[in-house]
Amino acid sequence: MLTKIRQYIIFLLIFTISAVSCIIGTVSAKGESPGGSEFLIWSHSDIQPRSEGEKSHYETAVIDVKNNFPSIDMALFAGDIVQKSHFEEIYLWYLETRKNAPVKEWFDIAGNHEWRAIDLYKKHINKNLYYSVERGNLLILMMSNEMRERRTFLSDETFKWWEGMVKNNQDKIIITVTHGVLKGNGLAASRLDRLRIIDSERFRKVLQKYRVDIWISGHSHFPGLLPGSEVTNAELGGTTFIDNGGIRDDFMTTIESRFIYFREGSDKAVMKKRNHRSGRFYSNDFIIPLAHPFSKE
């Protein structure tokens, strides 16, 4: 109990500093691509409605996306669709609700809460706990939590698969998606043990030798105005780590997600953070260096 209190005190101090030091600006509501982007990813997670009323939080996000984005190439969902009950109902509601967003393809992983009803997750959402997606020269490595554990557990089998995919595809732009955060990656969430990937060091050793361009995680629900919600870590091979935040109005959180824009021929991507309640982006874009220029072919 004392440990949890200390963690929340740390979080409150960081958030207070953020509120004082940051200019809380917003920009255009519309989801136009910066610089003529050719490929757009909607990265989000952690919807977890605990009541009928809380379903409106994700529905608000989907309506915002529907009204302001003509087309999104791909959605990456980094876990925690459900909370503690009504699992099948919520999975079916999630699938039906997301149909209203103009997204061409959806890819999900399981978070820690999916393990309260993992058989239903596999039945309705995705039977694979780890898998890859390739579009153009993007290679996306999706890894679910594999145990009913608050921290993210990834088996040795999954790690070895990921390691091999990274080593053998250095000619591609590699994106990794997990629910928990890698220890010591520079994100604010990585300071809390309960939000981390167990045995992160094995992944860190690979990143120090082989390039992974982007690593997306959820789980924290930390707001995007918090310092350390995205960082490019030179000590870990130049990987850019992104914390999704959460799509749930809660204590210190709001309804927000991330949008990543890739432009044909560019070796930089642009990440924009969006508040779906206000229907606007936060003011500062984050530039992500890529190992290779993006190509749709």
Task: Tell whether 219 is covered by a domain.
Answer: yes
Task: Tell whether 55 is covered by a domain.
Answer: yes
Q: What is the domain range of residue 145?
A: 38-289
Task: Tell whether 280 is covered by a domain.
Answer: yes
Task: Tell whether 18 is covered by a domain.
Answer: no
pLDDT digits (tens, 9 = 90+) for 168-205: 999 999 999 999 999 999 999 999 999 999 999 999 99
Task: Tell whether 25 is covered by a domain.
Answer: no
Task: Tell whether 22 is covered by a domain.
Answer: no
* CATH at residue 71: 3.60.21.10
Segment-wise mean pLDDT, segments of 10 residues, the chain, 297 residues: 46 44 51 70 96 95 97 97 95 98 98 96 98 98 95 97 98 98 97 97 98 97 92 98 92 87 97 96 94 95
Number of structural domains found in the chain: 1
Task: Tell whether 14 is covered by a domain.
Answer: no
Amino acid 10: pLDDT:
47
pTM: 0.91
Kindly report each contact of residues 164-172 with a partner whose C-beta sits within 8 Å and lies 24 or more positions away, as own/partner: 165/132, 165/139, 165/141, 166/141, 166/206, 166/210, 166/212, 167/206, 167/210, 169/139, 170/210, 170/211, 170/291, 171/137, 171/292, 172/134, 172/137, 172/138, 172/139, 172/292
Amino acid 16: pLDDT:
44
Task: Tell whether 33 is covered by a domain.
Answer: no
Amino acid 32: pLDDT:
63
Amino acid 7: pLDDT:
47
Query: Exposed/middle/buried for 50, CB within 10 Å: 0-12, 13-18, 19+?
Result: middle
